[in-house]
Structure formats: C-alpha cells, structure tokens
Chains A and B, each alone.
Chain A
Amino acid sequence: MILSALVYPEYYGLPLPITAVAVYTSAIASVIIFLVALRGKVKPYGVGIWGFLLSLLRGYRRWPGYIYDIALHRRLLRTRGRHGVGHALMIYGLILSFIGTMLVALNQYLGIIFGYRPYSGQLFLDYSFVMDLTSWILFVGSAVGALSLLSRLKNYRLNEAASYLIYLLGFMFLSVSGAVIEDYRVYALGLTGYLGYFPNAELLGRISLSTQAYVAIYYLHFLTAFALIAIMPYTEVAHSYLNLLNYSTRERASGELSKPFDLKSVMQSGNYEVKVGLKSYKDLDWAGALNPQACVGCNRCEEVCPATAAGRELSPTRLALKLKRGISSLSDDLFQTISEEEIWGCTTCGACMHACPVYVRHVDYIVDFRRSLTFGMKLDSKKSGLLMNLNQYGNSVGIQNQGRNAWITNEFGVPRASESSGFKYLLWVGCMNSFDERAKGSVRSFLELLKDSGELGEYAILGDEETDCGDPARRLGEESLFQNFALNNIELFKKYNVKNIVVMCPHGYNTFKNEYKDIDKWMEGVNVYHYAEIIDRLVKEGRVSVEKTNEAVTIHDPCYLARHNSVVNPQRELINAAARLVEPERHGRDTFCCGAGGANYWYEVNEKSRISHIRAKQLYDTGAGKAITLCPFCNAMLNDASTVALNGKLEVIDIASYLAMSRKKGSDIIGQPK
C-alpha cells in the first residue's frame, strides 16, 4: 500500500450514517447529562450552571498559572511524588487521547466538507504511534492510581472508593479496547508493512475477532468514554473541574483571611445583626461551599501539616473530607463531625493550602469555625485571657501599654511619630518585641545596624500609641476586635502620613500588607517591609559591611514571611554573606511551623509532641549549631524547644542580632544576650 493512500479508517467496518448518528447522539447526550448533573450539584448553594461556568471564564487571567501547574503537576510531584507520577501519566494519557480524538473528528469534517483528509499518510502513521504509546501511558497511570487508591483506602467511604475505581478501570478499558480495535483494523486493512508504527498491533499479533465482537468493542469503547464524562458531577472525579474553579476564584493571598463584615459600615448603620462564622453549609457562599468538595483525600496536606506531625487531633485531609461530606449532604451542623479540638489545633501556617493539588483553602474554614465559637462565646480561659488582654491593654502580652517603647527613644533617640519632624520609615516594634527581654535584644540589634548605616535618623516609632496589629485577634476568630485595631492603626498611619512601615514581626507584616487594604484602600499606598528586607538592602548598598565566616548556620523561615508572602531571598543573601548556610529539608516556602501561629502561642491543645520540638530537631539535624529566626514568636518557641528538648544545643538567634555580630568593625553590640 502506498503511503499517500493511507487514511485514518473512521468507522471502519461499520455503516457510516448509523454509526455517526450513534456516536454524535451519545456525545451530545453525555454533555447534556453532565450539565444537568452539574446543575443539580451546584444548585443547593445558590448558583446556576451559567453562573458557575461564567466564574470559570471570568478567572481567565489565572488560567496560564493553572495550566502551568497542571502541565508540570508541580503540587502532585512535590509531596507523595510516586503517586503524583501515576496521576501525571493518566492526565498526559488523557490529553494525548483527546488530541487523537480531535484529529479524527477534524479529519472527518474536512473530509466531508472539502474532501481533504489531513489525518493520513505520514501524520496518520506518526500519531498512530503516539496513540499506541498513549494507551500504555494511560494504562500504567491508571494502574498506579489504583495502587495509590488502595494505599489510602481508609480515607474513603465505599461509594467514594468505587467512583474512583470506575474511572481507573474505565481508563484501563479504554486503553485496552483502543488497542484491540486498532489491532483488528491494522490486520484487516493489511497494514502489516507499517507495523513499526503500530507497536501494540505487533505485540498483540493478529487477534481473531468476529465482526460482531469488533462492533461490540467499538461501541463499548466510545460509550465508556462518553459515560465517564456524563457521570463526572456525581463522582469524586468532579475534582477535575472543581480544582479549576478553586484556582479561578482564588482572590485572596494565602495569608489573608476573609472579611465577613465591615465593622465601620456596621457601626455607621447601627445594624449589628451580622452573620459571622461557619456552622451550616448555608453559611458559605457557593464558591466556598464547592471549594472543599474538590478534595480527593490524597493526604498531601496531612503529610506537611505540623499539627498532624505533633499528634494533634487535626488532620487537614480528614478535615477537608468532613467538610466535603458535610457540605455535599447539606448539613446544618458541621460541628457534628468536626470537633473544637481540631479547629484549635491549626497554627494557620498554610502548609496544607500550599500542598493541595486542588487548591482547597483549609485555613479559611478553620478560621470561620473559630469565628462561630468566638462569637458564640465558647472560649476556654486561655483564649479568653488573650482577648481580655487585647481588649484591656491593647497588646497581646497583657502588660500596661503605657511606656512600652520608651526604652527605644531613651537608648537610641528614635523619636515618636508625634514628635518627629519628618520620618521616612515608621518602625512597628510589635507586642513581643516591645515587652519581652529577649525579643528586645533583636530590636536593639536592628537599631544598631540602622545606626551604623546612618539611616537611623529616618525612623520614628509610635511609642505609647502603638497597640496590637490585630493578627492574634483575627486568627482567634474575633473579627470585630481585629478590625477595630486595624481602623485605629490606619487612623494613626494617616495622621502621621506614613508611607513606609518596617515591621519587626512577620505577623504584623502580613496583616499590614495583605489584610489592612481590605479594611481601608488607603493602605494600598503604604509600603510594608520586614526588617530582614531592610538589613538586606543596607548590606547590598554597602552601608553595613559584614564579615563572612565559615560557621554553619541554618535558617528557620517563618510561615507568615516565607510561605504566605514568599519572602525567602533576603534572609538567604544575608546569611550567605555572613556565614555558611545549611538548609533544613523544610525551608523557604515549604517551611515547617514553629507552633506559635494562628494565636497558638497563647493557648494549648492536646498533642503527643510539641510542634516547636519537632522543628528544633529538624533544624538541629542540619548539623548547624545555630538557627536564625526572623520572628520574635519563632525565636521564643525554638529557644524554649532547644532548652527543653535539645539541652540548649541549638543556638537560636534573631537575624538582626546575628548580622549585628557579623559586622566588620566588631563594635560592641547591645544586641541579643549570648
């Protein structure tokens, strides 16, 4: 047979009109069933099919990022990579099959309309070869998927496991039946001269198949494919489009929490009857109700979760599955399956959200649950104590606020904003740094560095006017108190015409940078810096010279700096300039929490080991004797952990203090006590 005469044999051996009608009718039926099913699934949450599809379309700016994620399978390969490979093969197999199907369709239309059949000759041979490989890719991917499914079978109810299995077996059937159909055609058409392009046909040899059996397999093949599309909304495989919804509707930064009401408008209207918190599925907007329904229980979030690692009751995977089941069964009381212990176990470190391949926002739900507990006045004495301190003293440590930063003015001459004749940077010292002796050392070191650089004169502090940033209140679920702090602080920032804020704590940094602009748009014009970014600039500009030693030093990245705000380079540049950096396995955006975040610093939950001890051990195991922190809370947690669990063998030092000690001219440092 000559090459140019080779054309893809569409409907080979089948009567054309009947088969075409059968194929297209079932194709259209599958799409209609899919849409009707989808409508039924999303309707209880108050959205129609068009609203749903439009939201996907409206998020088009995010698609490139989404496609990039899916193409590389980044999140699936980073954690539980072996399982991820199976999924990647499956997806690639499906994409290649889809291209093959499109080629066939195109071939048919162009043939009918223009008499031109592009899927012929060499292209036909080449893509046939690709499709032969594809059937293997899809088969192996599905088989690996089935094994992964078995390995975490305990996550699923019977119907859930069955629905995954239907797809996995379905894909395997499509691979095999496709190969059999091709085999039949290759030999029937006498293409044996090109067997090199049809490796599966060569491998299988000539299968003796009756015409009826061939027809039956052909019909089963395409009916299976269409059925798998049609039933998708009823199955766990709905995650394949819900993940796109989650990605498209992701508007907040990961460190930014939702705003259930606007305190200022509430106060102005005098209508205090606002809905806060989460108890029933009805408390969620439709995108929020669908978000956790994308969860497939893959365990990736659980694997990176510090709460799970410490043996707390919380597992983000179990939580997401409970949310998914509770919401999809339209539960009015999600607390029936989700306990308070789980809700308070979270440090809001965000590791789960960053690991999730379907973009579930676990922390949003946890904080919403906390809001309903806090607004239901169901807090234990420690959590209540934090709120009382914040209310009464205006700071999280419960010490009289008056005179909190007088020492900074006394020792370094940094003026209060109210007395300054003009300043470039407002230094937000923070609660811990204002009162805690050890943390004060970091502030002193930072001010020493500023003094050396000659930039100290550009700074001012708020002094007694500094209160709390609001982060602990918000993460404890006391939204109104958070917004009250934010409104007061923004008022002060405006009063002093603040343009740049340097924050000595990642929690304030995150909330000023990401959350305050949602309280008042004015904040969009304010630059927020973490002090490590400032030191990094000073070193780069040569205003502070650092002496490099060969000392092995590791970095503990704070969640609210590295993960939630992607600030990972300044600290590395600084440590590389001053010492020899040794990274722990969990570092940068993949860092492991110190255990203090999400207001955990102020209360206790049941656990088998302490998160801070686990982290201190990880840092100690790098072989570096010193760990650099960039947060007063991390510093306190890891210091205690080192003392209690490591006999003090890990020295925990704030980055400013370390840099102050690494300065070239070796001046006396008032910094952190050694």
Chain B
Amino acid sequence: MYVALNILVFLKAIPEDVKEDPRTHGPTVEGVKLKMDDISRNAVEEAIRLKEKHGGRATGITFGSDAATLVMKEALAMGLDEGVLIKGYAGNNPSLTASVLAERVSRMQWDLLMFGFSSADSYTAQVPPMVSYMLKRPLIGNAVSLRVEGKTVKGVSSYEDYNVAYEAEMPAVISVAQEINTPRIPTLLQIMAASKKPLSVEQAQAQSARTLQVLGHTFPMSQRKRIIFEDTNKGVEEVAAVLRQVLGK
C-alpha cells in the first residue's frame, strides 16, 4: 500500500569548474557559472521517483545565493513541486550548513529528508549525518537503493567492500550515492517553464554554529615529468615506452 509522501530534498549549486586565478595562480571559482551538484541531481531524481510512485509532494531546498536560482529551476523542471532558496551561504562550512538546514526543516512536515551523500565541490560528506544528529532522526547513508513500505523506509547503503540493508521509521534522513539512478535532464524550455512553479526565497536564520575557517586554496602539488606527446598517431606507443622506463620494466 502506498501512502503519499512528503519529501524534502536538498540540492546544492556548485561551481562548474575551478579556474586558475591569474594573480595568485591559485584555484578560484570567482566568476565561474554554477551548476547543480552531480550527486544532488541523483537525490532530486530519487525524490521525484518516490513521489511519482507513492504520490505526495517533493520540495527542493538549497542553501546558497541568488545565483542558485537557475539550479533550483532546473530541479523544479525535473519534477519537484516547489523550491525554497535560503540565502546566506558564504563558502564551505558543513556545520553551519547543517544547522541552517536543520533549523529550517524543523519547522516543516516531512517523511523523508534527502541528500546527495556528498557534494562534488567540497566532498566533506558531513552535512547529512550532522542534520540527522541535530534532528534526532535516523540516517540511511550512501544509499544505492530505496524503498518505502507503509511508514518505514528500506535502503541499501554501499560501503567499500559490502552493502548493508537498513530499515528506518519515517521521518528519516537519506543520503544517496551516485549509483542509485540516472537522473533525467530537463530541456531548456522546461527549465524556463519551471519559473511558474513556486519558489520562495528567504534569508538564513543567523546561526552561531562553531564555524570552520577557510584559510586559503592551493592546487595540489605534484611532481610532474612534463613530457608532451605531440604525435597523436604514435601516442600510445610513445607513452607506453616512457611508462616502461619509469616503472623500470
């Protein structure tokens, strides 16, 4: 028996790419366009699939800036019913993000709270467990499959070498792995049409969470050989020869 679900799904707008700052020669994301975080996309997809199967509503929530509006519209175009944009995001700070989100959803009715297990820009994977802890609701993390039965949610979490099947009473917090599905891609026209769906914009409640300070960004150091292979036709042979030499074979 299917019961209509009330799903909240978090999505993050992240920079499309990292550029080299011409002044500092360090990495920068200034002026880089935003896109929907890859794993958030899977979370949105899974939320929509559950909604399509069980009925109910799926609401997208993002903590970001005005620039995230387009990303939210894309999620709405995929099939979310409404969006909430919380402004005030000022860089990677998982505990702050978690407390902002936890505070916001504590004022809402929901059965499932869904995340991508980690965002593709900062890769901390901390927000879902923090929110779970703050709200005192169970977490099924890094889920590769999900099923809702009555008032319980069943999920399979993927670890390095094995999977664990969990069951939790709803409301529950879920973070999904990228393998869980292939997200749908809305067309540009559908993204434009999504402007007609409700999108509320609000300012984040001031949070006094212990904050993590970002001191600076650098590119990872690597000792590169800097060998350039120019002849694409002989490329593979030449590369193989160099590799053999380096590996001492």
Interface residue B189 (Cβ < 8 Å from any Cβ of A): yes
**In chain B, residues 179-217, which have Cβ atoms closer than 8 Å to a Cβ of chain A?**
182-190, 192-193, 196
Interface residue B222 (Cβ < 8 Å from any Cβ of A): no
What residues of chain A lie closer than 8 Å to B78, measured between beta carbons?
377
Given A267, A388, A437, A481, which contacts B187 in the complex, CB threshold below 8 Å? A481
Known: A267-B192, A272-B192, A674-B233. A377 touches B186 (CB 8 A): yes
Distance (whole angstroms) from the CB of A383 to the closest CB of chain B? 8
Distance (whole angstroms) from the CB of A182 to the closest CB of chain B? 67
Interface residue A408 (Cβ < 8 Å from any Cβ of B): no
Interface residue B230 (Cβ < 8 Å from any Cβ of A): yes
Interface residue A381 (Cβ < 8 Å from any Cβ of B): yes
Interface residue B161 (Cβ < 8 Å from any Cβ of A): no
Mark A540-559 against chain B: 1 for CB-CB distance below 8 A, else 0: 00000000000000000000
**In chain A, residues 356-387, which have Cβ atoms closer than 8 Å to a Cβ of chain B?**
374-375, 377-381, 384, 387
Distance (whole angstroms) from the CB of B5 to the closest CB of chain A? 20
- Contacting pair B232 A478 (CB below 8 A): no
| Chain B interface helix/strand/loop/mixed | loop
**In chain A, residues 563-618, which have Cβ atoms closer than 8 Å to a Cβ of chain B?**
none
What residues of chain A lie closer than 8 Å to B196, measured between beta carbons?
272
Distance (whole angstroms) from the CB of B127 to the closest CB of chain A? 24
| Docked CA distance A392–B183 (Å) | 16
| Chain A interface helix/strand/loop/mixed | helix
Interface residue B16 (Cβ < 8 Å from any Cβ of A): yes
Interface residue B231 (Cβ < 8 Å from any Cβ of A): yes
Known: A272-B193, A392-B33. A375 touches B187 (CB 8 A): yes
- Contacting pair A266 B189 (CB below 8 A): yes
| Docked CA distance A384–B231 (Å) | 32
Counting residue pairs across A and B whose Cβ atoms lie within 8 Å, the total is 62
Mark B148-162 against chain A: 1 for CB-CB distance below 8 A, else 0: 000000000000000
Distance (whole angstroms) from the CB of A387 to the closest CB of chain B? 5
Distance (whole angstroms) from the CB of A224 to the closest CB of chain B? 55
Q: Can you name the residue of chain A whose Cβ is closest to the Cβ of B193?
A: A272
Interface residue A273 (Cβ < 8 Å from any Cβ of B): yes
Interface residue B35 (Cβ < 8 Å from any Cβ of A): yes
Interface residue B238 (Cβ < 8 Å from any Cβ of A): no
**In chain A, residues 321-380, which have Cβ atoms closer than 8 Å to a Cβ of chain B?**
374-375, 377-380
- Contacting pair B193 A273 (CB below 8 A): yes
Known: A384-B183, A387-B185, A480-B187. A392 touches B230 (CB 8 A): no
Known: A384-B182, A437-B232. A274 touches B189 (CB 8 A): yes
- Contacting pair A384 B185 (CB below 8 A): yes
| Docked CA distance A392–B120 (Å) | 15
Number of chain B interface residues as a range:
20 to 34
What residues of chain B lie closer than 8 Å to A378, measured between beta carbons?
184
Interface residue B21 (Cβ < 8 Å from any Cβ of A): no
Known: A272-B196, A673-B233, A674-B233. A374 touches B187 (CB 8 A): yes
What residues of chain A lie closer than 8 Å to B231, measured between beta carbons?
673
What residues of chain B lie closer than 8 Å to A379, measured between beta carbons?
184-185
What residues of chain B lie closer than 8 Å to A674, measured between beta carbons?
233
Distance (whole angstroms) from the CB of B74 to the closest CB of chain A? 9
What residues of chain B lie closer than 8 Å to A263, measured between beta carbons?
188-189
What residues of chain B lie closer than 8 Å to A480, measured between beta carbons?
187-190, 192
| Docked CA distance A479–B187 (Å) | 8
- Contacting pair B185 A377 (CB below 8 A): yes
Interface residue A400 (Cβ < 8 Å from any Cβ of B): yes
What residues of chain A lie closer than 8 Å to B233, measured between beta carbons?
673-674
What residues of chain A lie closer than 8 Å to B188, measured between beta carbons?
263, 391, 478, 480-481, 484
Interface residue A75 (Cβ < 8 Å from any Cβ of B): no
Distance (whole angstroms) from the CB of B97 to the closest CB of chain A? 23
Interface residue B17 (Cβ < 8 Å from any Cβ of A): yes
What residues of chain A lie closer than 8 Å to B187, measured between beta carbons?
374-375, 377, 478-481
What residues of chain A lie closer than 8 Å to B35, measured between beta carbons?
392
Q: Can you name the residue of chain B whose Cβ is closest to the Cβ of A267?
A: B192
| Docked CA distance A393–B15 (Å) | 12
| Docked CA distance A481–B192 (Å) | 11
CB pairs A–B below 8 angstroms (20 shown):
A272-B193, A272-B196, A273-B193, A375-B190, A377-B185, A377-B187, A378-B184, A384-B182, A384-B183, A384-B185, A388-B185, A392-B16, A402-B19, A437-B232, A438-B232, A479-B187, A480-B188, A480-B189, A673-B231, A673-B232
List the 5 shortest-distance A-B pairs measured between CB atoms, nearest first.
Answer: A272-B193, A377-B184, A480-B189, A480-B188, A384-B185
Further pairs besides A379-B184, A384-B182, A479-B187: 17, Cβ < 8 Å: A263-B189, A272-B190, A272-B193, A274-B189, A377-B185, A378-B184, A380-B182, A384-B183, A384-B184, A388-B185, A393-B16, A400-B16, A438-B232, A480-B188, A480-B192, A673-B233, A674-B233
